[in-house]
Amino acid sequence: MAVLKILTYPEPVLRQRSKPVGRWDQELYKLIKDMTDTLEAVPGLGLAAVQVGVPVRLFIYDEGPGDGKSERSYSVLVNPEIVSQEGEIREEEGCLSIPEYRDTVIRSAVVKVKGFNKKGDPAEITAEGLLARVFQHEIDHLNGVLFIDRLSSLKRGLFLRRVKKLQKQSKAELSGKL
């Protein structure tokens, strides 16, 4: 079991557009396994490769988020893209790369996503509700977009001021220990 470090904002790689996966090889399967172990160890519903410092277009997700199943079951989407979307939902969202911060985000209520599964076979999934939100959130990561980018400018400004304040506090605490 290899639990990987999840990168947090403002880590620059989180803002990069991830590159398409070109080969299904042992390196890719190891990454998927390690990402699954990582997601199993944290309270999240999805994890994009870029969040563990590997900017390739893949994410793993819990197949039944919020359905009350006692056991989590994970799937992989490689080179995913949203091919259609409809409706709108406004709900609170959080992110493993932005710990201890949640806010309301507007997303499409239903999305159709195409890509490839773990074996490299074509996959097309229509998702709604929470799973649709997870897909959109993770695909945003692959495009270098964080959920805070989907907030109003006022809320994003408040978030950024909070981050700067925390960074100043950390620097002050660190210099006090030296």
The DSSP secondary structure of 41-90, one letter per residue, reads TTT-SEEEGGGGT--BSEEEEESSTTS--SS--EEEEEEEEEEEEE--EE
- Per the DSSP assignment, residues forming a β-bridge with 60 are 47, 76
d(CA 40, CA 33): 11
H helices of the chain, in order, are 26-40, 129-142, 153-177
Exactly one of 11, 40, 124, 138 is catalytic; which is it? 138
Residue 138 annotated as catalytic: yes
Catalytic residues: 138
